[in-house]
């Protein structure tokens, strides 16, 4: 009887371990996100002045903060519900991107990151968000 119970316990543990091994996990790295040259080389038409940054901050708080967090660390309240990490805007790898690359990613989106081409239809508003995230160093 004891041997049967031990065998049942062992089989149960092996099955649970197998299920856990194949459960989907949050991607803990950033997959490459290619940006077409036409966007990568776009120049931000807005100066990074206080007006633009304030506009960008307002839009960021409305559309981005829930996932990316108040300081762009990827720790917003919805971040844990996503399949991929939001990334950290303060890191050199993010800040090293061109403004056009950041614009493209906001505009186009991918996977958990929605496209904002219809949610923020004015391109200058997206450029303002780019100017704001540049302050999150």
Domain ranges of the chain: 36-133
**Model pLDDT, residue 95:** 97
**How confident is residue 30, by pLDDT bands cut at 50, 70 and 90?**
low
pLDDT in tens, 42-53: 999 999 999 999
Question: Is 49 strand, coil or helix?
Answer: coil
Q: How far apart are CA 94 and CA 110, in angstroms?
A: 16
Contact 106, 126 (CB under 8 A): yes
pLDDT in tens, 85-97: 988 999 999 999 9
Question: Is 58 strand, coil or helix?
Answer: helix
Closest CA to 90 of 107, 75, 79: 75
Q: How far apart are CA 96 and CA 112, in angstroms?
A: 22
| Partners of residue 110 on adjacent β-strands | 113
Burial of 32 (C-beta count, 10 Å sphere; 0-12/13-18/19+): exposed
Does the pLDDT value for residue 124 go beyond 70?
yes
> Does domain 36-133 bear CATH number 3.40.50.300?
no
């Amino acid at each position: 009887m004891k041997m049967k119970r031990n065998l049942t316990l062992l089989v149960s543990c092996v099955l649970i371990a197998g299920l856990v091994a194949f459960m989907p996990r949050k991607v803990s790295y950033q997959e490459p996100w290619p940006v077409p040259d036409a966007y990568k080389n776009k120049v931000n038409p807005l100066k990074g002045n206080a007006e633009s940054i304030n506009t960008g901050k307002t839009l960021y708080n409305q559309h981005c903060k829930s996932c990316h967090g108040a300081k762009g660390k990827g720790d917003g309240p919805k971040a844990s519900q996503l399949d991929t990490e939001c990334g950290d805007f303060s890191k050199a790898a993010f800040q090293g991107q061109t403004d056009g690359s950041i614009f493209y990613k906001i505009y186009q989106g991918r996977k958990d990151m929605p496209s904002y081409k219809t949610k923020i239809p004015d391109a200058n508003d997206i450029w303002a968000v780019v100017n704001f995230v540049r302050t999150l160093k």
